[in-house]
Chain A
Amino acid sequence: MAELRFGEPRQSRLLVGLGLVLVGLIALAIALGETGLSGHQYATAFTDPGSPAGEILWQIRAPRAAAAAVVGAALGLAGAVMQGLLRNPLADPAVLGVSASAGLGAAVVIALGLAGIAGAVEAAALAGALIAGVIVVLLALRLREPETLILFGVALSAMGGALTALVFNLSPSPIATSEVLSWLLGSVANRGWNDIGAALAPCAVGAALCAYAAGGLRMLTLGEETAALSGLPMARLRAAAVAGAALLTGAAVAMAGVIGFVGLAAPHLTRGAVSDDPARTLAPSALAGAMLLVAADLAARIIPSDEELKLGVVTALFGAPLFAVVAWRAARSWRR
C-alpha cells in the first residue's frame, strides 16, 4: 500500500514535464527576435560567444528570458502560497499590499531623479516590499482569520496606490512621471545577468520559506482551529508563508516592475494536476509562472508594433481570456 499513489500523478513526472516545456520556451525566446540571424550566425554564436550574434543571444536575449523565468517563477510561487494561506482562489501576490509598496518605493526614487544610480530603483522597490512584508507578517501573527488579513492587505495596497498617485501628483517633471508609469507597467527588457544575480538571493530565501510552510498550507484547508490543534507550529508556518511570498514578490517587482495576473493564474493552471493540494501546487505553480512570463515576454518582443509592448500589458491582455477559460473549468472544484 505504501507504494500506492491513490490515483494521483507522480509529482516528479509533472515537474519534469513542466520543466521541459519551460526549457523549450526559453530556447525559443533566445532563438527568436527582432534581429533575424542566419544559420551560420547561430552556429558562430555557439562557437564564439563574443561575436555580434553571440552578444545578441547570450548578453541580450538569454538574460532577458532568464529574467522573465525568474520573475514568473517568483510570482507563480508567491501566488500559490497566498491562495493556500488565505484559502482563497482569488488571492495573488498583490493581495497583501506588497506589490503596491514595492511600486511606491520605485516611484519615489524615480521621481526624486535618482533613477540614474545603478540599482537604486531595484533597491527601493525591494525596500518597499520588505517594509510592507514586515507589517503583514506582524499582522499575520496576530490575525488568524484570512478575511481580516485580506482586508488589511487591501488597506495597505490602497495606501501604496494612493501614495504612488501622490508622487505623480507632486512630481515636477512629466518625464519622471512617464518613467514611473513605464516602470509600473512592467518589463524585463535590458535586464542583464547581474540583475538576475541580485534577485537570486531573495528568491532562494523566499522559496525556502515557502517550501517550509507547505505542510501548514495543506493543514489550513481545514481552517484555523483544526490547524491550531494539529501539532504543527502554525504561527511559525504562517509567518514563513507570508515572509516568503513577500520576499518573492518584492524581488520580482524590483526586477521587472508590477506584473499582474501571473501569480493569480499559475496556481490555477496546475491545481487540477495535483488534486487541489495547496502544498503540492507550489513547485508546479512556480514552473507554470515562469512559462507564462517567458511566453508573454516573447510575445511582447515579436508582436510588431512601433513601441515595444510592455510585459504587464501582454500578460493581462492574453492572460485574462485564458484565465477566464481555466476559471470556468475549475469553478466546480472551488470552495463550496
Chain B
Amino acid sequence: MIASLEMDRVSVELAGRPVLAEISLCMARGEVLGVLGPNGAGKTTLLRAALGLARLGAGEARLEGRDVRTLSESARANLAGYLPQDRRVGWNLPAWRIAALGAATRPPRDARRVAMDALDQVGMAALAQRGVLDMSGGERARVLLARLIATAAPLLIADEPAAGLDPDAQFMVMEVLAARAAAGAGVMVTLHDLTLAVRTCDRIAVLSGGRLVAIGRPEKALEPMTLREAFGLEGEVITTPLGPVIAARRRRH
C-alpha cells in the first residue's frame, strides 16, 4: 500500500540553524496522527516540510508516493490541504466565502454547497453570512477549519486547529477531522493539549529539539520517560471511565 505521507530522513535548516534533523515517519490513509512537542521543537516546520513549503536540506517527503518537490501546484493541492497556524484574514469576507476558498477550483455553485456543508460540520452554518472579522477568534478559527474541510484532498494537515477554542469546540474540531479520517483521509495535526491528543489521535509523534523522540499509540508515545525528556514534565497517562487523561506537573529543577 502507498502511504498517504512519507518522510524519509528529512532535515531542514532555517536561517542556518538546524530545525529538523533526520525525521522519518509514515502515515496511512484513515489515521489521525498527532504531532506534539514543546514550543520550538519543530512541529510547524515538520508540517511545512511535508507539504514542500519548507526547503528540505536533506531527505525526501512523499505525498501518495510522489516526491513533493516534483509536484505541480495543482497536483499538490489535489493531494493535501493545509490549515496554517496563522489565523489572520486580510478582508472581512462572509464565512461562506472563506469556506468556499477550500473548493476554489470547483464551479462556484459546487463550491458554495461544499462550503455550507463544511460550515455545518463545524457548527457555523448559522453564521455563514457574517464577516469573519466581525467574529470572535474561536468562531473565525472554526470557519478556517471549515475551509480545510471543504478541500477534497486525501491528506489534511492542520497546525494547532484546537488552539484558543473552548473545550467543547476542541473536541468538536478533532471529531470533524476524525470523521474525515474515517472516510479515508490521512489527518496530521499539531496539538499542545496532551489529554486531547491522547483521547483523539490514533498515533502520536513527539518532537523535541528537531528530533523525533517517540512515535506510536498515544499511551506508548507519551510514556513517563518521554514526558520527562521532551516536555520536562513528571506525569503519566491515567485511565478514567471517561477516557485516558494525562496527569502531570513541572519537574523540580
Task: Decide whether A and B assemble into one complex.
Answer: yes
Q: Show the binding face of A for B, using Cβ within 8 Å.
A: 1-2, 6-8, 87, 215, 218-223, 225-226, 228-235, 275-278, 333-336
Interface of A is mostly: loop
In order of increasing CB-CB distance, the 6 nearest A-B pairs are A231-B77, A87-B90, A276-B92, A333-B92, A276-B91, A221-B90
**CB < 8 Å: which of A226, A231, A333, A336 contacts B78?**
A231
Q: How far is the CB of A63 from chain B (nearest CB, A)?
A: 37
Q: How many residues of B contact A (CB 8 A)?
A: 38
Contacts A6-B96, A7-B129, A333-B133 given; does A232 touch B104 at CB 8 Å: yes
In the complex, what residues of B have CB within 8 A of residue A218's CB? 93, 97, 101, 104
23 A-B pairs within 8 Å (CB atoms) are namely: A6-B94, A6-B112, A7-B129, A8-B94, A87-B91, A221-B89, A221-B91, A222-B90, A222-B98, A223-B84, A226-B82, A228-B53, A229-B51, A229-B53, A229-B82, A230-B77, A230-B104, A231-B78, A275-B94, A276-B131, A277-B97, A278-B91, A333-B133
In the complex, what residues of A have CB within 8 A of residue B101's CB? 218-219, 221-222, 226, 230
B33 at the interface (CB under 8 A from A): no
Known contacts A277-B97, A278-B91; 10 further A-B pairs (Cβ under 8 A): A1-B112, A87-B91, A219-B101, A222-B144, A226-B82, A232-B73, A232-B77, A232-B104, A276-B91, A276-B131
Q: Which residue of B lies closest to A88 (CB)?
A: B90
Q: How far is the CB of B82 from chain A (nearest CB, A)?
A: 5
In the complex, what residues of B have CB within 8 A of residue A215's CB? 104
Contacts A6-B129, A277-B93, A278-B91 given; does A232 touch B98 at CB 8 Å: no
In the complex, what residues of B have CB within 8 A of residue A220's CB? 90
Q: How far is the CB of B142 from chain A (nearest CB, A)?
A: 14
Q: Show the binding face of B for A, using Cβ within 8 Å.
A: 48, 51, 53, 73-74, 76-78, 80-84, 86, 88-94, 96-98, 101, 104-105, 109, 112-113, 116, 128-129, 131, 133-134, 144, 147
Q: How far is the CB of A79 from chain B (nearest CB, A)?
A: 15
Contacts A2-B113, A230-B77 given; does A276 touch B82 at CB 8 Å: no
In the complex, what residues of A have CB within 8 A of residue B97's CB? 218, 275, 277
Contact between chains at A222 and B147 (CB < 8 Å): yes
In the complex, what residues of B have CB within 8 A of residue A229's CB? 51, 53, 76-77, 80-82
